[in-house]
A = this chain, B = another copy of it.
Amino acid sequence: MDDYAKRGYGGADIGFGERIGIAVVDFQLGFTDGRFPMGGAALTDRAVGNTATLLAAARAARLPVVSCYTAYAGGDAPHWKVPPVLTGLRHGSEQVRLDPRIENRAYDFVLCKTAPSIFFQTAAAPIFIRNRVDTIIVTGCTTSGCVRASIIDAFSFGFRVIVPEDCVGDVAEAPHVANLQDVRRRYADVVDLNICLEHIAGLPNRNGV
Protein backbone atom coordinates (compact mmCIF):
# COMPACT_ATOMS: atom_id res chain seq x y z
CA MET A 1 0.00 0.00 0.00
CA ASP A 2 1.57 3.29 -1.09
CA ASP A 3 1.44 6.60 0.75
CA TYR A 4 -1.55 7.72 -1.28
CA ALA A 5 -3.55 4.56 -0.70
CA LYS A 6 -2.87 4.85 3.04
CA ARG A 7 -4.49 8.25 2.98
CA GLY A 8 -7.56 7.02 1.12
CA TYR A 9 -6.65 7.91 -2.46
CA GLY A 10 -8.07 5.45 -4.95
CA GLY A 11 -10.36 4.08 -2.29
CA ALA A 12 -13.51 4.02 -4.43
CA ASP A 13 -14.51 3.16 -7.97
CA ILE A 14 -16.67 5.24 -10.26
CA GLY A 15 -18.36 2.86 -12.66
CA PHE A 16 -20.37 3.55 -15.77
CA GLY A 17 -23.55 5.58 -15.36
CA GLU A 18 -26.69 5.63 -17.45
CA ARG A 19 -25.59 7.50 -20.54
CA ILE A 20 -22.13 7.45 -22.05
CA GLY A 21 -20.40 10.02 -24.23
CA ILE A 22 -16.96 9.81 -25.81
CA ALA A 23 -14.38 12.60 -25.80
CA VAL A 24 -11.56 12.31 -28.35
CA VAL A 25 -8.75 14.73 -27.58
CA ASP A 26 -6.38 16.04 -30.25
CA PHE A 27 -6.08 13.05 -32.55
CA GLN A 28 -4.90 15.46 -35.23
CA LEU A 29 -2.05 14.88 -37.66
CA GLY A 30 0.28 17.20 -35.75
CA PHE A 31 0.31 14.61 -32.97
CA THR A 32 -0.44 11.35 -34.79
CA ASP A 33 1.69 11.64 -37.92
CA GLY A 34 5.46 11.21 -37.70
CA ARG A 35 6.07 13.76 -40.46
CA PHE A 36 5.42 16.54 -37.96
CA PRO A 37 7.69 17.64 -35.09
CA MET A 38 5.34 16.57 -32.30
CA GLY A 39 3.91 13.57 -34.13
CA GLY A 40 4.33 9.86 -34.33
CA ALA A 41 4.87 8.15 -30.98
CA ALA A 42 4.21 4.43 -30.58
CA LEU A 43 1.81 4.87 -27.64
CA THR A 44 -0.15 7.45 -29.58
CA ASP A 45 -0.32 5.26 -32.65
CA ARG A 46 -1.68 2.41 -30.57
CA ALA A 47 -4.21 4.75 -29.01
CA VAL A 48 -5.48 5.97 -32.38
CA GLY A 49 -6.12 2.43 -33.56
CA ASN A 50 -7.87 1.43 -30.36
CA THR A 51 -9.93 4.58 -30.30
CA ALA A 52 -11.07 3.86 -33.85
CA THR A 53 -12.38 0.53 -32.61
CA LEU A 54 -14.08 2.19 -29.65
CA LEU A 55 -15.66 4.82 -31.86
CA ALA A 56 -17.07 2.23 -34.27
CA ALA A 57 -18.85 0.63 -31.34
CA ALA A 58 -19.92 3.96 -29.86
CA ARG A 59 -21.38 5.22 -33.11
CA ALA A 60 -23.21 1.96 -33.70
CA ALA A 61 -24.72 2.33 -30.22
CA ARG A 62 -25.62 5.96 -31.01
CA LEU A 63 -23.50 7.39 -28.21
CA PRO A 64 -22.55 11.06 -28.59
CA VAL A 65 -18.93 11.62 -29.64
CA VAL A 66 -17.11 14.94 -29.28
CA SER A 67 -13.79 15.10 -31.08
CA CYS A 68 -11.46 18.09 -30.97
CA TYR A 69 -8.28 19.51 -32.36
CA THR A 70 -6.10 22.39 -31.22
CA ALA A 71 -5.55 25.24 -33.68
CA TYR A 72 -4.61 28.90 -33.57
CA ALA A 73 -4.84 31.93 -35.80
CA GLY A 74 -1.96 33.70 -34.08
CA GLY A 75 -2.15 35.74 -30.90
CA ASP A 76 -5.08 33.71 -29.62
CA ALA A 77 -2.96 31.09 -27.88
CA PRO A 78 -2.11 30.84 -24.20
CA HIS A 79 1.55 31.08 -23.15
CA TRP A 80 2.73 27.69 -24.42
CA LYS A 81 6.29 26.60 -23.71
CA VAL A 82 6.15 24.38 -26.80
CA PRO A 83 7.11 26.44 -29.87
CA PRO A 84 5.86 23.83 -32.40
CA VAL A 85 2.37 24.20 -30.95
CA LEU A 86 2.37 27.86 -31.86
CA THR A 87 4.11 27.54 -35.21
CA GLY A 88 2.54 24.29 -36.39
CA LEU A 89 -1.02 24.12 -35.13
CA ARG A 90 -2.41 26.85 -37.37
CA HIS A 91 -5.85 26.99 -38.92
CA GLY A 92 -5.68 25.52 -42.38
CA SER A 93 -2.47 23.58 -41.83
CA GLU A 94 -2.27 19.84 -42.24
CA GLN A 95 -1.34 19.46 -38.57
CA VAL A 96 -4.81 20.46 -37.42
CA ARG A 97 -6.61 17.91 -39.60
CA LEU A 98 -8.10 15.04 -37.66
CA ASP A 99 -6.46 11.67 -38.17
CA PRO A 100 -8.58 9.89 -40.81
CA ARG A 101 -8.65 6.75 -38.67
CA ILE A 102 -10.88 8.47 -36.11
CA GLU A 103 -12.52 11.23 -38.16
CA ASN A 104 -16.24 11.03 -38.88
CA ARG A 105 -17.69 14.47 -39.33
CA ALA A 106 -21.03 13.09 -40.41
CA TYR A 107 -21.53 11.63 -36.95
CA ASP A 108 -19.21 13.27 -34.41
CA PHE A 109 -19.34 16.76 -32.98
CA VAL A 110 -16.02 18.31 -33.97
CA LEU A 111 -14.65 21.26 -32.00
CA CYS A 112 -11.64 23.49 -32.22
CA LYS A 113 -10.05 24.28 -28.88
CA THR A 114 -7.27 26.64 -27.80
CA ALA A 115 -6.38 25.28 -24.34
CA PRO A 116 -5.33 21.82 -23.17
CA SER A 117 -8.75 20.58 -22.06
CA ILE A 118 -11.46 19.65 -24.56
CA PHE A 119 -13.87 21.27 -22.09
CA PHE A 120 -12.07 24.56 -21.49
CA GLN A 121 -14.19 27.29 -23.04
CA THR A 122 -15.66 24.98 -25.70
CA ALA A 123 -19.13 23.65 -26.46
CA ALA A 124 -18.23 20.16 -25.22
CA ALA A 125 -19.99 20.40 -21.86
CA PRO A 126 -23.20 21.90 -23.32
CA ILE A 127 -23.29 19.18 -25.98
CA PHE A 128 -22.91 16.42 -23.40
CA ILE A 129 -25.48 18.08 -21.13
CA ARG A 130 -27.98 18.38 -23.95
CA ASN A 131 -27.48 14.70 -24.69
CA ARG A 132 -27.97 13.81 -21.01
CA VAL A 133 -24.56 12.20 -20.76
CA ASP A 134 -23.42 11.34 -17.22
CA THR A 135 -20.31 9.29 -18.08
CA ILE A 136 -17.46 10.30 -20.34
CA ILE A 137 -14.89 7.96 -21.81
CA VAL A 138 -11.79 10.05 -22.46
CA THR A 139 -9.46 9.08 -25.31
CA GLY A 140 -6.77 10.93 -27.25
CA CYS A 141 -3.37 12.42 -26.73
CA THR A 142 -1.29 13.24 -24.92
CA THR A 143 -1.86 11.53 -21.61
CA SER A 144 0.47 13.88 -19.75
CA GLY A 145 -0.95 16.99 -21.41
CA CYS A 146 -4.35 17.56 -22.99
CA VAL A 147 -5.79 14.20 -21.91
CA ARG A 148 -4.92 14.85 -18.28
CA ALA A 149 -6.48 18.32 -18.52
CA SER A 150 -9.63 16.94 -20.14
CA ILE A 151 -10.02 14.25 -17.49
CA ILE A 152 -9.81 16.84 -14.72
CA ASP A 153 -12.47 18.99 -16.36
CA ALA A 154 -14.82 16.10 -17.14
CA PHE A 155 -14.57 15.15 -13.47
CA SER A 156 -14.98 18.74 -12.29
CA PHE A 157 -18.17 19.19 -14.31
CA GLY A 158 -19.69 16.28 -12.40
CA PHE A 159 -19.42 13.53 -15.00
CA ARG A 160 -18.24 10.00 -14.27
CA VAL A 161 -14.93 9.58 -16.06
CA ILE A 162 -13.57 6.38 -17.59
CA VAL A 163 -10.13 6.27 -19.20
CA PRO A 164 -9.18 3.25 -21.31
CA GLU A 165 -5.40 3.38 -20.96
CA ASP A 166 -4.81 1.84 -24.38
CA CYS A 167 -6.89 4.59 -26.03
CA VAL A 168 -4.73 7.44 -24.73
CA GLY A 169 -1.22 8.01 -25.99
CA ASP A 170 1.92 9.89 -25.18
CA VAL A 171 5.45 10.54 -26.33
CA ALA A 172 7.06 8.40 -23.64
CA GLU A 173 5.85 5.72 -21.31
CA ALA A 174 6.86 7.08 -17.90
CA PRO A 175 4.66 10.23 -18.01
CA HIS A 176 1.85 8.18 -19.55
CA VAL A 177 1.93 5.77 -16.63
CA ALA A 178 2.48 8.44 -13.98
CA ASN A 179 -0.43 10.56 -15.14
CA LEU A 180 -2.78 7.60 -15.30
CA GLN A 181 -1.72 6.77 -11.76
CA ASP A 182 -2.47 10.33 -10.58
CA VAL A 183 -5.84 10.18 -12.27
CA ARG A 184 -6.75 6.70 -11.06
CA ARG A 185 -6.17 7.83 -7.50
CA ARG A 186 -8.55 10.75 -7.77
CA TYR A 187 -10.80 11.28 -10.76
CA ALA A 188 -11.40 8.32 -13.03
CA ASP A 189 -11.55 4.59 -13.50
CA VAL A 190 -8.59 3.57 -15.63
CA VAL A 191 -9.56 0.50 -17.63
CA ASP A 192 -8.80 -0.88 -21.09
CA LEU A 193 -10.57 -0.85 -24.41
CA ASN A 194 -12.16 -4.24 -23.87
CA ILE A 195 -13.95 -3.15 -20.72
CA CYS A 196 -15.47 -0.26 -22.65
CA LEU A 197 -16.45 -2.42 -25.61
CA GLU A 198 -18.12 -4.97 -23.35
CA HIS A 199 -20.03 -2.29 -21.55
CA ILE A 200 -21.23 -0.68 -24.77
CA ALA A 201 -22.20 -4.08 -26.18
CA GLY A 202 -24.40 -4.58 -23.13
CA LEU A 203 -26.27 -1.30 -23.43
CA PRO A 204 -29.98 -1.36 -24.21
CA ASN A 205 -30.87 -0.22 -27.73
CA ARG A 206 -31.62 3.46 -28.19
CA ASN A 207 -32.89 5.49 -31.05
CA GLY A 208 -30.63 8.31 -32.07
CA VAL A 209 -28.33 10.54 -30.13
Contact = CB atoms under 8 A, between A and B. Distances in A.
A130 interface: yes
Interface string A68-107: 0000010110111111110000000000000000000000
Q: Which 10 A-B pairs have the closest CB atoms?
A: A115-B156, A130-B158, A126-B158, A129-B158, A8-B84, A178-B178, A114-B123, A120-B156, A7-B38, A144-B182
B185 A152 contact: no
A206 to B, nearest CB: 13
A30 to B, nearest CB: 10
Interface in A32-77: 37-38, 41, 73, 75-76
Contacts of A84: 7-8, 11
Interface string A106-142: 0001101011110011110111111010100000000
A8 B82 contact: yes
9 contacts: A14-B79, A18-B132, A76-B109, A79-B130, A79-B187, A81-B184, A115-B126, A115-B155, A121-B123
A185 B171 CA distance: 12
Per DSSP, are chain A's interface residues mostly helix, strand or loop, or mixed?
A: loop
Contacts of A144: 182
Contact of A125 (B112, B125, B130): B125
Interface of A: 2-4, 7-14, 18-19, 37-38, 41, 73, 75-76, 78-85, 109-110, 112, 114-117, 120-123, 125-130, 132, 134, 144-145, 148-149, 152-153, 155-161, 171-172, 174-175, 178-179, 181-182, 184-188, 209
